[in-house]
Amino acid sequence: MTVEVQALTVDVFGTVTDFRSTIIDEGRRLAESRDWPEVDWGQFADRWRGGYEPAMHRVRMGELPWTAIDPLHRMILDELLADYGLDDLDEAGRTEFNLAWHRLQPWPDVIGGMNRLKTRYIVAALSNGNISLLTRMAKHAGFPWDCVLSAELARHYKPDPEVYLTAARYLDLEPDQVLMTAAHIHDLEGARAVGFRTAFIPRPDEWGPGGEAEKPEEGQFDIVARDFHDLADQLET
Amino acid sequence: MTVEVQALTVDVFGTVTDFRSTIIDEGRRLAESRDWPEVDWGQFADRWRGGYEPAMHRVRMGELPWTAIDPLHRMILDELLADYGLDDLDEAGRTEFNLAWHRLQPWPDVIGGMNRLKTRYIVAALSNGNISLLTRMAKHAGFPWDCVLSAELARHYKPDPEVYLTAARYLDLEPDQVLMTAAHIHDLEGARAVGFRTAFIPRPDEWGPGGEAEKPEEGQFDIVARDFHDLADQLET
CATH number at residue A128: 3.40.50.1000
d(CA B49, CA B157): 15
In which domain, by residue range, is A217 found?
Answer: 7-16+107-234
Instruction: Report percent pLDDT > 70 for chain A.
Output: 99
What is the phi-psi region of residue B58: left when phi exceeds 0, alpha when psi lies from -120 to 50, beta otherwise? alpha
Report the candidate in B157, B154, B146, B143 with the shortest Cα–Cα distance to residue B124. Answer: B146
Residue A6, SS3?
coil
The answer on B168 and B149 residing in a single domain is: yes
* Structural contact between residues A100 and A133, judged by C-beta atoms closer than 8 angstroms: no
Among chain B residues, CA nearest to A172:
B132
At which of A50, A73, A102 does a domain end?
A102
The answer on A98 and A126 residing in a single domain is: no
The answer on A37 and A11 residing in a single domain is: no
DSSP state of A84: T
In a domain, B1, yes or no: no
Report the candidate in B82, B97, B78 with the shortest Cα–Cα distance to residue B26. Answer: B97
In a domain, A2, yes or no: no
Nearest by CB: A135 against B135, B146, B153: B146
Is the bond preceding residue B161 a cis peptide, omega within 30 degrees? no
The answer on A51 and A167 residing in a single domain is: no
Contact A135 B147 (CB under 8 A): yes
The answer on A78 and A51 residing in a single domain is: yes
In a domain, B198, yes or no: yes
d(CA A234, CA A223): 8
Q: Give the mean pLDDT of B76-101.
A: 96
* Cross-strand partners of B10: B125, B181
Both ends of chain B: CA-CA distance in Å?
13
To the nearest whole Å, the CA of B215 is away from the closest chain A CA by: 33
The answer on B38 and B135 residing in a single domain is: no
> Which ipTM value was assigned to this complex?
0.93
Residue B77, SS3?
helix
Residue A121, SS3?
coil
pLDDT at B57 over 80: yes
The answer on B119 and B74 residing in a single domain is: no
> Whats the size of chain A, residue-wise?
237
Q: Which residues of B touch A142 (CB under 8 A)?
A: none
* Structural contact between residues A138 and A145, judged by C-beta atoms closer than 8 angstroms: yes
Number of independent structural domains in chain B: 2
Contact A147 B134 (CB under 8 A): yes
Q: How confident is the model at residue B37 (pLDDT cuts 50, 70, 90)?
A: confident
In a domain, A1, yes or no: no
Contact A131 B173 (CB under 8 A): no
d(CA A189, CA A202): 15
To the nearest whole Å, the CA of A146 is away from the closest chain B CA by: 6
Average confidence score pLDDT of chain A: 95
Per-residue pLDDT tens for A137-146?
A: 999 999 999 9
Strands A197-200 and A178-182 come out as: parallel
Q: Quick one: pLDDT at residue B1?
A: 54
Q: Which residues of B touch A152 (CB under 8 A)?
A: 170
Q: How many CA atoms lie within 13 A of A55 on its CB side?
A: 22
* Structural contact between residues A231 and A223, judged by C-beta atoms closer than 8 angstroms: yes
d(CA A99, CA A92): 11
At which of A102, A126, A150 does a domain end?
A102
Contact A148 B153 (CB under 8 A): no
Contact A147 B170 (CB under 8 A): no
Instruction: Report percent pLDDT > 90 for chain B.
Output: 91
The answer on B45 and B93 residing in a single domain is: yes
Contact A172 B138 (CB under 8 A): no
Contact B135 A146 (CB under 8 A): yes
In a domain, B79, yes or no: yes
To the nearest whole Å, the CA of A115 is away from the closest chain B CA by: 12
Nearest by CB: A146 against B130, B139, B173: B139
The answer on B29 and B12 residing in a single domain is: no
The answer on A194 and A216 residing in a single domain is: yes
The answer on A164 and A70 residing in a single domain is: no
Q: How confident is the model at residue B209 (pLDDT cuts 50, 70, 90)?
A: confident
Contact B170 A139 (CB under 8 A): no
Type of residue found at A131: I
In a domain, B2, yes or no: no
At which of B86, B102, B118 does a domain end?
B102
Q: Write the CATH number for B82.
A: 1.10.150.240
The answer on B216 and B117 residing in a single domain is: yes
To the nearest whole Å, the CA of B111 is away from the closest chain A CA by: 15
Q: Give the mean pLDDT of A150-161.
A: 96
In a domain, A135, yes or no: yes
**How many CB atoms neighbour CB A131 within 10 A?**
25
pLDDT at B168 over 70: yes
Angle at A209 between CA A207 and CA A212, to 5 degrees: 55
Contact B172 A139 (CB under 8 A): no
Q: Which residues of A touch B70 (CB under 8 A)?
A: 172
pLDDT at B201 over 90: yes
List the single range of A94-103, A148-157, B34-43 with lowest mean pLDDT.
B34-43
Identify each DSSP E strand in B49-168 by its residue range. 105-106, 122-127, 147-150
Element (H, E) at A106: strand A105-106
Is the bond preceding residue A161 a cis peptide, omega within 30 degrees? no
To the nearest whole Å, the CA of B44 is away from the closest chain A CA by: 27
Sign of CA dihedral B24, B25, B26, B31: positive
In a domain, A143, yes or no: yes
Query: Chain B residues contacting A, CB < 8 Å?
Result: 70, 118, 122, 124, 130-136, 138-139, 145-148, 152-153, 170-173
**Angstrom distances, CA of residue B167 to CA of A86, A156, A198, B130, B236:** 36, 19, 31, 14, 24
